Amino acid sequence: MPSAPTSAPVAVVGAGYVGLATAVSLAHMGHQVVCADHDRAKLAKLEAGEPTIVEDGMAELLREGLANGRLRFVGSSTEAVRRAELVFLCLPTPPRADGSADVSILQEVAEQIAPHLERGAIIANKSTVPVGSTRVIEQLLGRSDVAVVSNPEFLREGQAISDCLHPDRVVVGADDAKAAARVGALFAATGAPLIVTDAATAETIKYASNAFLATRLSFVNAVATLSEAVGADVRDVLLGMGYDHRIGFEFLRPGPGWGGSCFPKDTSALLFMAEQAGYDFPLLRAAVATNDAQRASVVAKVSSALGGSLAGRTVAAWGITFKAGTDDRRESPAVAVVRQLAGEGAVVRAYDPTVRGPVPELVGLAEVCADPYGACAGAEVVVILTEWDELRWLDYAKVRSVMAEPALVDARNLLDPAKLRRLGFRYTGIGRP
């Protein structure tokens, strides 16, 4: 079913991962979109057709929208919402020290835009917010003519555009059925099932989905640990499990633990909310603890490859981002592992295809090298922390020749151990012999 292009512009407030992907995708679907961000440098790049994040397909859609005039960027949220029938709020909700979500930016923006909204406008909140926030936004706006709906976003970084254009589902949480239908109609072109609920349920769907996926990964990593203990190969264990259609193959890769801008913050926020509501949620606590242990176990593998001590030893770390296909380093397990390695005295030489030169997270912890071979020069062990495809295709004879010792810890199970061993490497993977 084609979506009905809006005559009035759609406003998107916030040009981060969610906002930018939403804005370019809506423009691609035929809507007029005005996207606001207060960061002038970011706006200048976007207006010049240069994406501010590494994201497959972003450059094409950004340039398409600018060229056909369906996409505009402005520096103020109040300017963006004028004349807009629909306003998407795509703002950060970072974690506070106690784990709860900080919604102050969202509150501030709601207060700023309130007097500038069109009569009968609909506010759709895409930011991940504590259950009950849709109501709080409604109160802050203080506009009885404006409907507020929850429209959680499920996009993955690295696949943000395809997830926006082809979502598994569209969730709209609202008391106002007409407003929910209007927001749903905007995504009709995607053909995705539309789930209309009340606001609290929509907000809970988002947290429960992320917490479920994080728990699934912690389970997978625990099965990898178990496989090592009992002498099984976790890849075959997961293959055998995945053929059960109730389990499936997606989200079944063991690794150095889950990270990124969502899982860590959303699991903490859900634990906080559950506690406030009088529920301890032991299962989710265990998933978080298993994730912390997974990072530590990668450090232990590196240490063991070096004979037990990291002090003064040179370690090459390949991959800094929290996963491949993105330049995002927020809550990256790779950064956490490097921090622990450096904390135990290792001299770390890091490489990542999206990183050129020093990065704030690694200052004083690691030297950032321009290529993977350079990072390995003189290293006694190399650890793969992000599953970048290019790492599969390196010349491993050359890697071996530049290293002081041929040891490799593959925390993403990216490489073929037999091939590496033939080249003389001591290979350690995750949950496999």
Catalytic residues: 262
Rounded to an integer, what distance in angstroms lies between the CA atom of residue 261 and that of residue 404? 36
Q: How far apart are the first and last CA of the chain?
A: 50
Rounded to an integer, what distance in angstroms lies between the CA atom of residue 134 and that of residue 147? 10
State the minimum distance, in angstroms, from the CB of residue 166 to ligand UDX: 13
CA angle 134, 136, 141 (to 5 degrees): 95
Q: Name which of 89 and 155 has its Cβ closer to ligand UDX.
A: 155
Name which of 323, 291, 6, 7 is nearest 157 in CA terms. 323
- Give the interface with ligand UDX as residue ranges (CB under 6 A): 153-157, 210, 213, 217, 251-253, 255, 258-260, 262-263, 322-323
Q: Name which of 153 and 380 has its Cβ closer to ligand UDX.
A: 153
Q: Name which of 28 and 330 has its Cβ closer to ligand UDX.
A: 330
State the minimum distance, in angstroms, from the CB of residue 206 to ligand UDX: 8
Rounded to an integer, what distance in angstroms lies between the CA atom of residue 171 and that of residue 159? 19
Q: Name which of 46 and 262 has its Cβ closer to ligand UDX.
A: 262
State the minimum distance, in angstroms, from the CB of residue 313 to ligand UDX: 26
State the minimum distance, in angstroms, from the CB of residue 387 to ligand UDX: 7
DSSP-assigned letters across all residues of 152-192: ---PPTTSHHHHHHS-S-EEEE-S-HHHHHHHHHHTGGGT-
CB 215 within 8 A of CB 223: no
User: At residue 409, what is the residue type?
Assistant: V
DSSP-assigned letters across all residues of 139-160: HHHT-TT-EEEE----PPTTSH
CB 383 within 8 A of CB 315: yes
State the minimum distance, in angstroms, from the CB of residue 131 to ligand UDX: 17
